[in-house]
Copies of this chain bind each other. A is one copy, B any other.
Amino acid sequence: MNAALQATADSGQAPHAHTGAWVAGVLRSRISAGQLAPGSKLSEQKLSEALGVSRNTLREAFTVLAGESMVQRIPNRGVFVAAPGAEDVREIYRVRRLIEPAAVQSGEMPPGALEHLEAIVAKAQEAKAAGSVLDMADANQELHKALVGLSGSATLARLMEKVLAEMRLVFHAMSTAPDFHSHYVDLNAALVEQIRAGRRAEAAAELRRYLDAAERELLVHLGAVPAEPATKGGADR
């Protein structure tokens, strides 16, 4: 834990933009990279001296990150790296299930978007061939971000980015992280193919199935839902 903290303090001499925003960026990166484990406490004193900034400035960064729900602030207790649970996963997929298919189905399709999608798919297939799980995960996230990008809305793109950041936290929070992504590379390819063919409604429907399956897989792995029986909507919470 300590190693991760003081690791990048060397670049501490050049707070490019506003120092607060810079600190927020540094912490955001480390959290997304998993260097700061979900649930771990971020001490004001340690972090401020490790990053070479004032406690006040660090606090500003905390405010930013709390607004993005990357960290959780508990009054008089401190800030902790967000640790999403099963209910958070359900919420994540509630959002994705609403936004992604809608963007696919009724997006305005800016020029070059299709090529962008296909480039990402190619990258994912490359990563799969090379067996690089990390690159596959990255490409996967990039693809879904691009799908939302079809809507042409910067707001929704930002929201999706936030959601994907939370997804990374979910993965980091899982003790054992099996290969969730390789299954989906081919599905992604098929999806983009359908979009290319103009079969937007079918693509959206397939995407919905995709998301349902992914959510279920995650919940099962979190032990929040039984593995097999898929009938009545049973255990909630």
Whole-angstrom CA separation of A17 from B76 in the bound complex: 12
Let me know if B98 and A153 touch, CB within 8 A.
yes
B94 lies within 8 A of A153 (CB): yes
Q: DSSP majority for the A interface? A: helix
Look across to chain B and name the residue whose beta carbon is closest to the beta carbon of A59: B60
Residue ID in chain B nearest A151 by CB atoms = B98
Q: How many copies does the complex hold?
A: 2
**Of the candidates B75, B155, B163, which one forms a contact with A91 in the assembled complex, judged by CB atoms under 8 Å apart?**
B155
Closest B residue to A154 by beta carbon equals B91
Q: Given the known A-B contacts A63-B20, A64-B67, A68-B67, are A98 and B91 also in contact in the complex, defined by CB atoms under 8 Å?
A: no
Instruction: Identify which of residues 94-147 in chain A touch chain B, using a CB-to-CB cut-off of 8 Å.
Output: 94-95, 97-99, 101-103, 106
A85 close to chain B: CB less than 8 A = no
- Residue in B closest to A103 when the chains form the complex, CB atoms: B98
Q: Say yes or no: B63 contacts A152, CB within 8 Å.
A: no
**B20 & A156 in contact (Cβ 8 Å cutoff):** no
**Docked complex Cα distance between A105 and B16 (Å):** 46
Q: What are 5 residue pairs bridging A and B, where the CB atoms are less than 8 Å apart in the complex?
A: A17-B75, A94-B151, A94-B153, A97-B106, A98-B156
Given contacts A94-B151, A95-B155, A98-B151, 20 further A-B contacts (CB under 8 A): A56-B56, A60-B63, A63-B67, A64-B67, A67-B67, A67-B68, A91-B153, A91-B154, A91-B155, A94-B152, A94-B155, A97-B106, A98-B99, A98-B103, A98-B106, A98-B153, A98-B156, A99-B99, A102-B102, A159-B159
